[in-house]
Amino acid sequence: MVDLEGFEQALNHIADKISEYDDIVHIGYYPTADCLIAASILGSVFLKQDRPFVIFRAEKFEDERDKRGIDHPYVFLGGRIDGNIENVIWIPEPSSENYEQGICLNAGDYGLIYPSSNETKKETSETEVTISLIVREICIRNDSTMVTNLLPLVAEQSIRMASVPTGLHANLAQLAESSNFVTRIDAMRVFGAEKFGIVETLELSYDPFFPNLTNNREAIKKFLKSVKRKGQRDGIPIEKGKSLRKFSELTSEELVDLNTSLLKYLNKNTGFREKRMHFFSKKVILNQEENYPVLHNTWDYAQAVQDVMNKDRDPLAIAVLLGNRGEFYEELSRIFVTHRGVLNSVFSFFKSENVEEMKNLRFFDAGEKIAWYNTSTVAIMILSSGLTTIDLPLVVQAPGPGENTTMSIQASSDLKLSMPILEAVTRADKNVEVTLVKGDTHHATIRLPATSAESYLLELNTVLGGNGEV
């Protein structure tokens, strides 16, 4: 049962504790986009109040605190703390776990849950809350102007890209819309619609991926001319006068016609069932960011933050999140644009004969053709595109970071599994030191020593069988 009154009291308590800090506050965050955004929200309040603070990234909080000194006041967002947390305020992901360490605000104690990356999991969505939204609510108690900070809407999109805001984020979106801070529109689920032209947007699209169109400019131009439109002969025009039209400039009628043509095209080319083809969703437009195309909607903003983090450029993301634009925005925008091109190029080298078929999974070793942080995205792209069948989970592997290997295991949401993927990857790590990056019923991304990758894959194949068959 949700206890919002108790949650409010907990927020007030944490806000009071933070306001009592009179030394440099060290804000640590676990390396997820949500936690980084939460740290930036808290930092922006200190910035307004001219209070000293530092923001740092920490996979293991205790190690970072030992380096920085135990006497400073700390706020740690996400992750875990297993030891003494004196002088530490900790806000973990909401969970049912009972934390007894010091000053800890676990929203799970009040019936709230963390958003799932699995879009099909909607039954408890009304109770969802990110760490960013929790921190925003705390900050409002110390600075009422923080009601205009809408970054939690970006944070939620970093967990479940191009989805409709749910839970407490839906409430925030509705309030922001009524105050004209945001506009919500029906939009096609593509990235860079306000940055790229029509052809380039489709060319760089990887979710959804369009076989023989993605990364094929001439084919896209031909396809757009073939789109059947009432009263029009030449399909969808890509220019207006002498200028290229942005994808975001497509009319609602053009989007409907384009969607219909894409559905027909994909069913013809991949044999997918139409019920799985859903290219439209509610997009949240941040009205105050109209001069910055990559930040103007929460989909692109969240993806840009994730792209920058993947390149270990966290300070750049923090600078933009704290309100800096200029050269900081230009560099973030450049990384966003570059990343779109890198991702869709995966289909130029993916061949079915490079996939190893095992009893209970398929395995694709991408080698150095993709970065380790793209394994999850590539696995989803391959499964959703029809480049391989969906009757088995797909494992995509790439080297890194460091001496490690990253594996992403992805199963179709329609596939009946002997056990959740998250459970399977945990069971298979008996003799291998495996770090779980993220996971749920149909997906998991893990990191493990490169020397153990082959033996782990064999064990995972056994576990997924549920009966020991390999």
What's the average pLDDT block by block, 10 residues per block, for the chain (470 residues)? 92 95 94 96 95 93 88 92 81 83 87 74 70 97 92 91 85 94 89 91 76 81 89 85 91 89 75 51 92 95 93 95 96 90 66 82 89 84 75 92 91 86 88 79 90 93 70
Regarding beta strands 362-365 and 355-357, do their DSSP bridges make them parallel or antiparallel, or are they unpaired? antiparallel
Single pTM value for the model: 0.83
What's the confidence (pLDDT) of residue 290?
93
Q: What pLDDT, in 10s, does the model give residues 376-409? A: 878 877 776 667 788 999 999 999 888 899 999 9
Nearest to 114 by CA among 169, 161, 70, 72: 169
Strand order in the sheet with 103-104: 53-57, 25-29, 74-77, 88-91, 103-104
Distance CA 395, CA 223 (A): 32
What's the confidence (pLDDT) of residue 387?
72
Regarding beta strands 88-91 and 103-104, do their DSSP bridges make them parallel or antiparallel, or are they unpaired? parallel
What's the confidence (pLDDT) of residue 345?
65
User: Can you tell me which residue has the tokens 């289909």?
Assistant: 347
Distance CA 110, CA 108 (A): 5
Nearest to 348 by CA among 220, 221, 206: 206
What the chain holds in terms of domains, given with CATH numbers, is 4-155 (3.90.1640.30), 188-346 (no CATH), 349-465 (3.10.310.40)
User: Do residues 29 and 74 make contact, with C-beta atoms less than 8 angstroms apart?
Assistant: no
Regarding beta strands 404-410 and 394-399, do their DSSP bridges make them parallel or antiparallel, or are they unpaired? antiparallel
